[in-house]
C-alpha cells in the first residue's frame, strides 16, 4: 500500500486480491514445474480457455447457492458474462464444442486462475490459482479414477508435502442414506447442508427424531475413517442399494491403490460434499495439517459434458497452488548457479555486460549491480546468490567471494569465465 502525500489518497488493491513478489513466485513456479512434469509423463496436454465465459454456460455446473459467488458483468452486446469459477466447466464446454468421439479418450491439464465473488472480510480470496487435470471419455471408470489419484499422490510426494491424507467419498452414499431414512426433499437438503458444514451435533439431533438407531449408524458412517473394514461392518446393517453400490466402488478403488502402494495416503470420508452440482460419483479431498483449508479436490462428473453436446464420462482434480505453497515446509529453489557481478569502480559497465553474457551462455544466472552498495555481501546473500564477483577497474582480475563457503580469492578474469565454460561442457 502506497500513500500519495500530495492529495493524501491511499492506493490499494480491491479486496480479495494480492500482489506476488519474485521470491514467492519462484517457489510457486517450482510447484508448477513439478506438476507439469508429472502431467506430461502421463500424456496430459495443457489447454487454456478464456477467463470470461457466458454466464449461462457457467451456471450449468455451479450449485444452487453459487449465483452470489459469480463475478458478473455485461459484454458490449449486452450479453451476461462471468469470470470462470473453476476450469472443469470451461474444459467441459471446450470438449463438447471441439472434440469428436473418435478422439476419445482425451487427457487435458491446466494452470489457471479462477474467480469467485465473496463478502468483504479479511483473508478471503477472490482469485484461486489452480493446477489440475481432466481425464475425459474413458469407458473404464475405475481405472481412470485410479489414474488421476495416483497422479495426485505422485505430485504431493514430489512437492514433499508431509502427513497429507486423501479423503474418498461418493455422491450417492449420502443420497442412499437419505433413501434409507425415507426423507422428503426438504429434509434431504437440510441433511446435505448440515453434512457440508460438518455440523454433526445438529445432524444427530435431527436424525434422532426420525430413528435413533439409524441415526447412530448414519453419524458413524460419515466420520473420517482410515480402516475401511470398520465401515464395512456398519454397511452390512444397511440394505439400501445406493449405499452398498457406492461403498463397493470406493472399496474397489481403495484395494487397487493398496496394491499400488498408495493405500497409506487414504481415508474414507463420506461427509465430502462439493459446492458444484456436476459431480456424479467418486469425490475426494486433500487434507494437510499445515493448512486449514482443503488443499485440492476432485471427482467424477459423468453428466456435465452432455450439457455441452457430447454424452461422455469424465473425472479430474484441481490443486490449489496458494495452499500447496503454504503446505510445503521447505523448498529447494536452486534452479541454477547465481552470481552478483559488479565493477569495483562502477565503470566499464559495457564490458561488464559482455562478461555477464558469456556467463549466461553457460546457464549461469547473473545479476548486474551498477550502484554503490555499502554492504555488498549482505546484499548478494539477500538476492540468493552463490558468488559475489567484483571486477577490478582494469578488467584483468576478479575478486570472488563464495557466499556459501565464506571464502575469498582473486583470479584472472579469463580463467574465471573459462572455468564455467568447461563445467558446462563436462
pLDDT digit string (tens) for 82-120? 999 999 999 999 999 999 999 999 999 999 999 988 877
345 and 319 inside one domain: no
Residue 180 grid cell? 434409507
**Averaged over 65-73, what is the pLDDT?**
80
**Is 171 contained in some domain?**
no
Pair 171, 280: CB distance under 8 Å = yes
Nearest-CA neighbor of 173 among 231, 254, 88, 233? Answer: 231
**Is 405 contained in some domain?**
yes
**Is 3 contained in some domain?**
no
SS3 206: helix
R_g (Cα) of the chain, nearest Å: 28
Q: How far apart are the C-alpha atoms of 314 and 301, rounded to whole Å?
A: 6
Q: Is 278 left (phi over 0), alpha (psi -120 to 50) or beta?
A: alpha
Pair 106, 100: CB distance under 8 Å = no
Residue 177 grid cell? 442414506
Pair 220, 208: CB distance under 8 Å = no
**Is 375 contained in some domain?**
yes
Q: How far apart are the C-alpha atoms of 58 and 195, rounded to whole Å?
A: 25
39 and 149 inside one domain: yes
361 and 409 inside one domain: yes
Pair 126, 71: CB distance under 8 Å = yes
Nearest-CA neighbor of 161 among 305, 348, 330? Answer: 330
Pair 399, 392: CB distance under 8 Å = yes
Residue 65: CATH number of its domain: 3.30.930.10
Q: Which residue has the higher pLDDT, 8 or 39?
A: 39
30 and 79 inside one domain: yes
Last residue of a domain, one of 271, 304, 327: 327
Residue-wise pLDDT for 260-317, tens only, equals: 999 999 999 999 988 778 899 999 999 999 898 999 999 999 999 999 999 999 999 9
Residue-wise pLDDT for 388-418, tens only, equals: 999 998 889 999 999 989 999 999 998 988 8
Residue corresponding to grid cell 465473496: 118
35 and 144 inside one domain: yes
28 and 128 inside one domain: yes
Residue 409: CATH number of its domain: 3.40.50.800
Pair 367, 341: CB distance under 8 Å = yes
Last residue of a domain, one of 270, 304, 327: 327
**Is 253 contained in some domain?**
no
309 and 342 inside one domain: no
- Output the average pLDDT for the chain: 89
Residue 390 belongs to domain spanning = 338-425
Q: How far apart are the C-alpha atoms of 258 and 254, rounded to whole Å?
A: 6
**Is 278 contained in some domain?**
no
418 and 315 inside one domain: no
384 and 293 inside one domain: no
**Is 266 contained in some domain?**
no
pTM to 2 decimal places: 0.84
129 and 30 inside one domain: yes
Q: How far apart are the C-alpha atoms of 90 and 180, rounded to whole Å?
A: 36
73 and 141 inside one domain: yes
Last residue of a domain, one of 327, 355, 389: 327
pLDDT of residue 10: 66
**Is 1 contained in some domain?**
no
Q: Count of domains in the chain?
A: 2
Q: How far apart are the C-alpha atoms of 128 and 86, rounded to whole Å?
A: 9
346 and 323 inside one domain: no
Amino acid at each position: 500500500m502506497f500513500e500519495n502525500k500530495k492529495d493524501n489518497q491511499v492506493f490499494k488493491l480491491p479486496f480479495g486480491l494480492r500482489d506476488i513478489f519474485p521470491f514467492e513466485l519462484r517457489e510457486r513456479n517450482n510447484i508448477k514445474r513439478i506438476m507439469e512434469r508429472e502431467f506430461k509423463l502421463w500424456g496430459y496436454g495443457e489447454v487454456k480457455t478464456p477467463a470470461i465465459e457466458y454466464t449461462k454456460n457457467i451456471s450449468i455446473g455451479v450449485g444452487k447457492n453459487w449465483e452470489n459467488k459469480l463475478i458478473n458483468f455485461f459484454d458490449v452486446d449486452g450479453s451476461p458474462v462471468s469470470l470462470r469459477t473453476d476450469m472443469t466447466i470451461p474444459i467441459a464446454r471446450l470438449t463438447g464444442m471441439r472434440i469428436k468421439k473418435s478422439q476419445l479418450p482425451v487427457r487435458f491439464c491446466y494452470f489457471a486462475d479462477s474467480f469467485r465473488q465473496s463478502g468483504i472480510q479479511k483473508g478471503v480470496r477472490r482469485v484461486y490459482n489452480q493446477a489440475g487435470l481432466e481425464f475425459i471419455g474413458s469407458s473404464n471408470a475405475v481405472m481412470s479414477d485410479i489414474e488421476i489419484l495416483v497422479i495426485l499422490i505422485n505430485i504431493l510426494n514430489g512437492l514433499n508435502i508431509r502427513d497429507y491424507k486423501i479423503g474418498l467419498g461418493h455422491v450417492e452414499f449420502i443420497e442412499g442414506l437419505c433413501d434409507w431414512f425415507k426423507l422428503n426433499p426438504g429434509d434431504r437438503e437440510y441433511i446435505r447442508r448440515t453434512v457440508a458444514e460438518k455440523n454433526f451435533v445438529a445432524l444427530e439431533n435431527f436424525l434422532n427424531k426420525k430413528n435413533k438407531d439409524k441415526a447412530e449408524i448414519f453419524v458413524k458412517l460419515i466420520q473420517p475413517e482410515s480402516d475401511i473394514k470398520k465401515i464395512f461392518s456398519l454397511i452390512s446393517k444397511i440394505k439400501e442399494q445406493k449405499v452398498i453400490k457406492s461403498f463397493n466402488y470406493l472399496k474397489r478403488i481403495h484395494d487397487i491403490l493398496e496394491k499400488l502402494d498408495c493405500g497409506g495416503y487414504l481415508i474414507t470420508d463420506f461427509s465430502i460434499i462439493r459446492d458444484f452440482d456436476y459431480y456424479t460419483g467418486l469425490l475426494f479431498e486433500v487434507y494437510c495439517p499445515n493448512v486449514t483449508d482443503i488443499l485440492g479436490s476432485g471427482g467424477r462428473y459423468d453428466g456435465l459434458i452432455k450439457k455441452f453436446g457430447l454424452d461422455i464420462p469424465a473425472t479430474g482434480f484441481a490443486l490449489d497452488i496458494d495452499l500447496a505453497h503454504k503446505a510445503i515446509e521447505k523448498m529447494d529453489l536452486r534452479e541454477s548457479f547465481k552470481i552478483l557481478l559488479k565493477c569495483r569502480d562502477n565503470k566499464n559497465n559495457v564490458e561488464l555486460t559482455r562478461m555477464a553474457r558469456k556467463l549466461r551462455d553457460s546457464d549461469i544466472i547473473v545479476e548486474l549491480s551498477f550502484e554503490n552498495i555499502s554492504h555488498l555481501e549482505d546484499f548478494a546473500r539477500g538476492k540468493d546468490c552463490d558468488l559475489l564477483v567484483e571486477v577490478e577497474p582494469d578488467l584483468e582480475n576478479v575478486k570472488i567471494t563464495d557466499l556459501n563457503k565464506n571464502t575469498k580469492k582473486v583470479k584472472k578474469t579469463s580463467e574465471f569465465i573459462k572455468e564455467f565454460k568447461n563445467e558446462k561442457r563436462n
